[in-house]
Amino acid sequence: MEKVHVDLKEKSYDILIENGLLKTVAPRITALLPQVSKAAIVTDSNVGPLYAGILEMELKKAGIEAFIIPFEAGEKSKDLATLGEIYKGLAQNGLTRSDAVIALGGGVTGDMAGLAAATFLRGIAFIQIPTSLLAAVDSSVGGKVAVDLPEGKNLVGAFYQPKAVYIDPDLLETLPERFLTDGMAEVIKYGCIKSPGLFKKLEGIKDKTDLLAEISGIIEECCSIKARIVEEDEFDNGGRMVLNFGHTLGHAVEKTFGYEKFTHGEGVAAGMALITQRSEALGLTEKGTAKRIIKILEQYGLPVTADVSRGDFLSAIALDKKKRGKKITLILIQKIGESLLYPVDIEGLGEFLP
Ligand SMILES: NC(=O)c1ccc[n+]([C@@H]2O[C@H](COP(=O)([O-])OP(=O)(O)OC[C@H]3O[C@@H](n4cnc5c(N)ncnc54)[C@H](O)[C@@H]3O)[C@@H](O)[C@H]2O)c1
Ligand SMILES: [Zn+2]
């Protein structure tokens, strides 16, 4: 069992990582939250049929009245209408302030169930059981919960920490390959910004079997990197910015292709490769770094470039919500494992574009 403690004073919690954990979460929940008598399992139409039944049964065995609130899988469901359906499920099943919401799924499920938990009855206990790699290493850590509006992603949300995060890496065996690859982009990002050791370990992995054999340790390292960053900057006022390495150009890539051609991870991968080639050319990054990043991204089947014009980059970045006034802070790396915050004017941005 690997454990990462997230230290946020009275909002502290543990992230537990262990193969087969799904089958033992129920008694862990009753031990952690003895007041819970009902639990709503929020899950999507792909994950629910695979795993929700097992969880529901285990919760019942542990004396918790459990029921499932399913929704149609996909980012399109991360909206106010589906959130409304979740509230309805919670109300109709009579959840009280001493009960709990359990998110069983990827980042879409975690973000939306978390917002429901944060707001239903002004906040009830929230548990995360992330089932995608991205959710395990990124979205389930840090307490950001949200839904999308037609006007943009994650526009309605809150900071709401879970009581616990339970990661069962066995569940990743059914995750479609493209989503595994997608999550790997964020894993590689953690290596780039904070851990030469993780980066090296990832370079040494040969195939999917190898990766899944190592995945618990990899997830543990990513969660602890993110936990340390979140502890310093719970409400995203500055320090969390390093997590955006590859994201400024990455978002622009995703947006230019209407969020269809590139997944988030693919956009981030291209963004990391493109910006590091520029920062290296400008003498801000140790020589040879871009080549290493490109090589590892290719090794995991991720793109290293995108056919986006300068104009498209500039207009997408100008709209990026991370822009503060006229300045934008780019996240660069000095070398593998060391990041650098680099504020530039919009006019100065051109130098960093391919
Ligand atoms: N809160 C945060 O800090 C944060 C950080 C990063 C991303 N996010 C959000 O996360 C979301 C993306 O997360 P995601 O990539 O996990 O998307 P997702 O939840 O849509 O999951 C991806 C796909 O994989 C399927 N799936 C998940 N686990 C599975 C499993 N074990 N077996 C079979 N199928 C499985 C899902 O049904 C879905 O089709 C976005 O909405 C993004 O905004 C949030
Ligand atoms: Zn990301």
d(CA 201, CA 207): 13
DSSP string, 82-135: HHHHHHHHHHHTT--TTSEEEEEESHHHHHHHHHHHHHGGG--EEEEEE-SHHI
* Residue from 50, 112, 131 to probe ligand 1 pocket by mutation (most atoms less than 8 Å from CB): 131
Q: How far is the CA of 286 from the centre of ligand 2 (A)?
A: 24
- DSSP string of 145-158, one letter each residue: EEEEETTEEEEEEE
3-state secondary structure of 224: helix
At residue 321, the pLDDT reads 54
**What's the whole-model pTM score?**
0.96
User: Residue whose CA is closest, atom 22 of ligand 1?
Assistant: 106
pLDDT attached to residue 318: 79
Give the per-residue pLDDT at 347. Answer: 82
What ligand has the least distance to the C-alpha of 272?
A: 2
Residue 154 Cα to ligand 2 midpoint, Å, equals 13
**5: which strand partners?**
14
For atom 14 of ligand 1, the residue with the nearest CA is: 107
Q: For 52-92, write each residue's pLDDT tens digit.
A: 999 999 999 999 999 999 999 999 999 999 999 999 999 99
By alpha-carbon position, which residue is closest to atom 44 of ligand 1? 139
Q: Tokens at residue 281, please?
A: 């050319």
pLDDT for the residue numbered 317: 86
Q: How far is CA 305 from CA 35, 262, 317, in A?
A: 51, 11, 17
CA 181 to ligand 2 center in whole angstroms = 13
For the chain, which residues score pLDDT lower than 70?
Answer: 320-325
Task: Using the mean position of ligand 1's atoms as its centre, give its distance from the Cα of residue 248 in Å.
Answer: 20
Whether the CB of 78 sits within 6 Å of ligand 1? yes
